[in-house]
Amino acid sequence: MLGNWLKTTILMAAIVALFGAVGAALGGAGGMMIALMLAAAMNTYAYWFSDKAVLKMYGAQEVSADNSQFRSYYQTVKQLAENAQLPMPKVYVINESQPNAFATGRNPEHAAVAATVGIMQILSERELRGVMAHELAHVKNRDTLISTISATMAGAIASIAQFGMLFGGGRNGSGESNLHTFIGILILFLAHLAAALIQMAISRAREFEADKAGAEISRDPNALASALEKIHHYAHQITNQTAEAHPETGQMMIINPLSGVSFDSLFSTHPKTEERVARLRAMVI
């Protein structure tokens, strides 16, 4: 666990450093300081409010034990939280046809799990139990804060590069202006590339870990393996409009929700589903 935290700390530091580098390239020392201050402000915002922002973005509705329609789902999460020795998280439902789920929150005491209506329609109770155990594993491993901060920062890196391109072109002479524009485009490309690589490195490793820990929490690796196969199949066929509009949130989901990104792509934020399933099947003695 210490090794994972060290890796995450290095990756998050790289995001902040990249943010500063983009600011420096576009605005010199002053630009770098502004970018670093923005990075600090965004990290602070992400720490306290990112969970609420993401839940609101997806139109998530909180449910309780009294909700007859989702009582079984709520009770499943409650039982799994007890198995994992976690505080009871808030439980949300997203009115979305694409089958998917995610966890968020800055720590286990302020955690939330959310599942789409679509995932409840295609999975059996046993498979849904496996999925929610996976999400609670993210909570237990304290992945939720890391994933939301990395998503926020990845989007911000591209935004600051675009800002520099729009407002940094007012130079004397067309040659200098054209050069600045070219540099801005190059920085924008590199920012997207670096942010994608950083998110990929964070998310892929943690998905494997959450699969393993989730299988241990549910005591049923085959249930999660079966669920992943079903979700992978249906997620390709059903567009998630919110995820498409906010692709930086895709790495929070149990399966990549983006229709335009191949699951086998170099920049996919998730490991290959086939590899995840194989590892889970191998856990069964």
Q: Domain segments of the chain: what residues? A: 2-282
CA 43, chain centre distance (Å) = 15
Which of 44-53, 75-84, 203-212 has the least mean pLDDT? 44-53
Q: In whole angstroms, how large is the CA radius of gyration of the chain? A: 20
**Bigger pLDDT: 195 vs 90:** 90
- Report the percent of the chain where pLDDT is more than 90: 47
Q: DSSP assignment, residue 53? A: H
| pLDDT tens profile 4-36 | 566 556 666 776 777 777 777 767 788 788 878
**Is 209 assigned a catalytic role?**
no
Amino acid (one-letter) located at 244: E
Q: Please tell me the predicted confidence (pLDDT) of residue 246.
A: 82
Report d(CA 266, CA 200) in Å as an integer. 9
| pLDDT tens profile 62-119 | 999 999 999 999 999 999 999 999 999 999 999 999 999 999 998 899 999 999 999 9
What's the mean pLDDT in 225-239? 94
- CB-based contact 101:144 (threshold 8 Å): no
Q: Is the pTM of this model over 0.85?
A: no
Residue closest to 250 by CA, chosen among 215, 199, 206 = 199
Measured from the Cβ of residue 85, the count of other Cβ atoms closer than 10 Å reads: 9
- Residue 39, pLDDT > 90, answer no
Report d(CA 181, CA 131) in Å as an integer. 46
- Residue 138, pLDDT > 80, answer yes
Kindly name the residue from 82, 109, 127, 135 that is annotated as catalytic: 135
Residue position matching structure tokens 């490991």: 271
Q: Please tell me the predicted confidence (pLDDT) of residue 264.
A: 42
Q: How confident is the model at residue 227 (pLDDT cuts 50, 70, 90)?
A: very high
Residue closest to 96 by CA, chosen among 132, 133, 59, 71 = 59
- CB-based contact 133:217 (threshold 8 Å): yes
- Residue 190, pLDDT > 80, answer no
